[in-house]
Amino acid sequence: MQVLVINGPNLNLLGERKPEIYGSLTLNEINKYVEDYFKNTKISFFQSNHEGEIIDKIHSASQKFVGIVLNAGAFTHYSYAIRDAIEAISIPVVEVHLSNVAKRENFRQESVIAPVCGGSISGFGKYGYVLAIRAIVHRNSSRG
């Protein structure tokens, strides 16, 4: 069972980018934490600042992965192209945000990808990735 974690624009700057909001860990450190958390699930990590690269990765994922965890960064709020890519594939996508977007600026209140995702997790920092992977694994191994 393999799960793909995709991080979008500016998430490569974690550690130095607004630590009061996103925490002080780098993306590599978060990925290591997530990888170490799961013993029986293989997790692949991908980060890109480019919309098209994220779309290509989503398209090719269904051949290899049982689900995708996606922190689309600011693309969350306006990328209909990423939304369409998610809608086009059959494996579940879980939306993740490190920060609680509901209590931030108005433009972060809307997610154009949420309606085509299996669910959304926001505000739990690095643990949000763990929760999202657990949701995918659970969905893959049960019918309920």
The set of catalytic residues is 22, 97
How far is the C-alpha of 71 from the C-alpha of 128, rounded, in Å? 10
**Going along 1-142, which residue ranges are E strands?**
2-7, 42-47, 67-71, 93-97, 119-122
Q: How far is the CB of 114 from ligand DQA (least distance, A)?
A: 12
- CB-wise, 1 or 123, nearer to ligand DQA? 123
Dihedrals φ, ψ of 83, to 5°? -55, -45
With contacts defined by CB under 6 A, name the span among 24-32, 40-48, 97-105, 129-137 that binds ligand DQA.
97-105
- CB-wise, 61 or 101, nearer to ligand DQA? 101
73 near 7, Cβ under 8 Å?
yes
Q: How far is the CB of 7 from ligand DQA (least distance, A)?
A: 8
Q: Does 74 bind ligand DQA (CB under 6 A)?
A: yes
How far is the C-alpha of 34 from the C-alpha of 77, rounded, in Å? 25
Beta bridge pairs of residue 122: 97
Q: How far is the CB of 69 from ligand DQA (least distance, A)?
A: 12
Site for ligand DQA in 27-56 (CB under 6 A): none
Q: Which of 1, 10, 12, 46 binds ligand DQA (CB under 6 A)?
A: 10
Q: Does the CA dihedral 83-87-89-91 come out positive or negative?
A: positive
Under the rule (CB under 6 A), what is the footprint of ligand DQA? 10, 71, 73-74, 76, 97-99, 101, 108
